[in-house]
Chains A and B, each alone.
Chain A
Amino acid sequence: MVVTDSRMIELVNIGRSFRRADGRTVAAVSDVSLTIPEGEFVCLIGTSGCGKSTLLAMIAGLLAPSQGSIVVDGREIDGPGPERGMVFQRDSVFPWMRVVDNVEYGLRCRGVAAPERRAVALRYLDRVGLGHVERAWPRELSGGMLKRVAIATVFANGAKVLMLDEPFGALDYVTRHQLQRVLLDLWDDGRAGTTRRTVLFVTHDVDEALLLADRILVVGAGRIVDDIRVEAPRPRDTDTLLRSDAVAIKHRLLGHLGLERPLAQGRAAGAAA
């Protein structure tokens, strides 16, 4: 069954509960329904333990939902698949493969011929600024460089949906901003061709969400509590964050995160409307 409209990801009444050590069942995600069109850059934001990573893991197929169904690109998912790439918060680059072998690993899994997959891998390594370390071992790279390798790997694999679980959380300020640009630059490739890739990006950082997202989903206590569209034009920079609509969204997000009083949240929501 192939759905021909632009819905790339469709969640219907998704829930996931875990059994705790004391035997009680805790719902990490409950009754989430959501449609994400193809090419949209979506940021998921929420406090620690709100269920956003669980949601991502279910879409990635690494975790089976307790109820509901997930349809990606017209097919109900049943485990991980190469059409859904994942960049993890922790380092996931294989230490036992050279950098270039890591980047072409997905293509190797799918039986792409060696010269061809090597060419693709080198192209993406160049794009993330690591053309010069293709033969290096991962242990020789810094944390920021390993993230670049991970990003090159998912893009080289040609995934239609990219999921990034707080990918830049552990990086310093400068590296984080460099990598945001690298990511947006690769995502923007789609503009010239047919369609952009659909991105789900989990973050704690309000400014990061404002700089990256077309749409910000606020997750709280296992549910989607707000769905905000970011209309600011691209490319975005520090000035974007100072626009009145961006400031309004920021107030609204800070309210959701419990960093500002509901009064401020109400005022911000009013301003945005």
Chain B
Amino acid sequence: MTPVADSLRPGRAPDRLGSRTRALARAVDPLRLAGVAIGVAVWQGLTMLLPPIILPTPAGVAGRLRDDFWSAPALSYYGLTEPNLYGNLLYTAQNVLVAVLAGASIGIASGLLSARFPLVQAGLDPVVMTAGTVPILIAAPFLLIWFGVGRTSAVCLVVFYVAVTLHIFAARAARNVDPIFEQSARTLGAGSRRVLRDVLLPATVPEILGGLRIALAGAWGLEAVAELLGSQSGMGKVIEVLAGATDPQGIMAALLSLGSTAVLADLLAALAVARLTRWSAAAR
């Protein structure tokens, strides 16, 4: 029973810009900044009690991040292709991007299809159920056999994870679409293609994008772990060699750069979600 405000009338470009700035403002709200500040303060406090080999100081980690970001010659000594954090971060980010795009395309398509066609569901459900309950990493040995050591195996692992996650979200979203919308579209003259494009896809967008953000968050961690499978680049590999060298300061600098990148990616995804689901109050 919301009365319609006068401001609804002209809302075009300013409205869009407004939602973007609002989404940005939400992401950097003061409470979050306060949380970060408290976290850093606690960290600083703990460093006074613990030796630096267990817990390096915030300032030390920040300095290390600044130094290592563009140039960390020690990394090439450990056999990494890129002797800096920047290059490895880019490698990891590229893999995540490719894997999320490929995995999302596969998972959304298969999820929507299995919600519509019982035969597809019967074929895919056993695979998805198994993959959804068993830790995905157990697929790693097979991927190593099929694709060998390196980038392909890591990306495939993440593609698989993202596809399974989005399959589940997309199938559930499609089953949740109220049939009245399709019935209404058909009585207005919409054919099957229009029903897909104008009803099924837009109606499922909020839930699917929610799943995409979850898959994206998980993809960073999984990609880093997958890089341990004999890769010569990537943040996972960096952290592995630094752990071997007992370098907690370096590890934390690497984690900080990886974490910030993941947070930034999630922020961009959140902006895209807000842009695409303006119609839905629930998605906000």
Interface residues, chain A, CB within 8 Å of chain B? Answer: 60-62, 79-82, 84-86, 88, 90-92, 94-98, 105-106, 109-110, 132-133, 135-143, 145, 153-154, 157
Against A, the Cβ 8 Å flags (1 = close, 0 = not) of B172-188 are 00000010110111111
Residues of B within 8 A of A139 (CB): 2, 279-281
In angstroms, Cα B277 to Cα A95, docked, is: 10
In angstroms, Cα B190 to Cα A105, docked, is: 9
Find B8's partner among A88, A95, A136 (CB 8 Å cutoff): A136
B278 interface residue (CB < 8 Å to A): yes
- CB <8 Å contact, A133 and B181: no
B18 interface residue (CB < 8 Å to A): no
Find A92's partner among B9, B10, B184 (CB 8 Å cutoff): B184
Residues of A within 8 A of B280 (CB): 95-96, 139
Residues of B within 8 A of A82 (CB): 187-189
Residues of A within 8 A of B10 (CB): 135
Find A79's partner among B1, B185, B186 (CB 8 Å cutoff): B186
Find B278's partner among A88, A137, A143 (CB 8 Å cutoff): A137
Find B183's partner among A91, A92, A106, A145 (CB 8 Å cutoff): A92
Give B163 Cβ to nearest chain A Cβ, in Å: 25
B205 interface residue (CB < 8 Å to A): yes
Residues of A within 8 A of B180 (CB): 88, 90-92
Interface residues, chain B, CB within 8 Å of chain A? Answer: 1-4, 8-12, 178, 180-181, 183-191, 194, 198-199, 202-203, 205, 278-281
Contacts between chains A and B (CB distance < 8 A), count: 94
Known interface pairs A86-B183, A86-B187; 18 further A-B residue pairs with C-beta atoms within 8 A, sorted by A's residue number: A62-B186, A80-B187, A81-B187, A82-B188, A88-B184, A92-B180, A92-B183, A95-B279, A96-B279, A105-B185, A105-B198, A109-B185, A109-B189, A133-B9, A135-B10, A141-B2, A153-B188, A157-B189
Residues of A within 8 A of B205 (CB): 96
- Nearest A residue to B202, CB-CB: A96
In angstroms, Cα B184 to Cα A157, docked, is: 12
In angstroms, Cα B178 to Cα A88, docked, is: 13
- CB <8 Å contact, A132 and B184: no
Give A75 Cβ to nearest chain B Cβ, in Å: 15
In angstroms, Cα B186 to Cα A166, docked, is: 19
Residues of A within 8 A of B12 (CB): 135
In angstroms, Cα B7 to Cα A133, docked, is: 10
In angstroms, Cα B8 to Cα A98, docked, is: 11
In angstroms, Cα B2 to Cα A141, docked, is: 6
- Nearest B residue to A96, CB-CB: B202
In angstroms, Cα B195 to Cα A105, docked, is: 12
Give A73 Cβ to nearest chain B Cβ, in Å: 15
Cross-chain pairs A/B with CB under 8 angstroms, 10 sampled: A80-B186, A81-B189, A82-B189, A86-B183, A86-B184, A88-B180, A88-B183, A94-B198, A95-B279, A97-B198
Chain B contact residues, majority secondary structure: loop
- CB <8 Å contact, A60 and B187: yes
Q: A132-B4, A141-B2 are in contact. Are A109 and B279 (CB under 8 A)?
A: no
Residues of B within 8 A of A97 (CB): 198, 202, 279
Residues of B within 8 A of A143 (CB): 1
In angstroms, Cα B1 to Cα A143, docked, is: 7
Residues of A within 8 A of B278 (CB): 137
In angstroms, Cα B126 to Cα A224, docked, is: 49
- CB <8 Å contact, B279 and A62: no
Find B188's partner among A61, A105, A135 (CB 8 Å cutoff): A105
Give B5 Cβ to nearest chain A Cβ, in Å: 8
In angstroms, Cα B191 to Cα A106, docked, is: 11
- Nearest A residue to B194, CB-CB: A109
A-B pairs, top 9 by smallest CB distance, nearest first, are: A82-B189, A106-B188, A92-B184, A96-B202, A80-B186, A109-B189, A86-B187, A96-B279, A80-B187
Q: A133-B4, A135-B11, A136-B4 are in contact. Are A84 and B187 (CB under 8 A)?
A: yes
Give A152 Cβ to nearest chain B Cβ, in Å: 12
Residue of A81, A109, A133, A143 ringed by the most chain B CB atoms within 10 A: A109
- Nearest A residue to B189, CB-CB: A82
Give B132 Cβ to nearest chain A Cβ, in Å: 28
Residue of B178, B181, B202 ringed by the most chain A CB atoms within 10 A: B181
Q: A86-B184, A96-B205, A140-B8 are in contact. Are A106 and B2 (CB under 8 A)?
A: no
In angstroms, Cα B276 to Cα A96, docked, is: 10
In angstroms, Cα B202 to Cα A138, docked, is: 14
Residue of B3, B12, B180, B280 ringed by the most chain A CB atoms within 10 A: B180
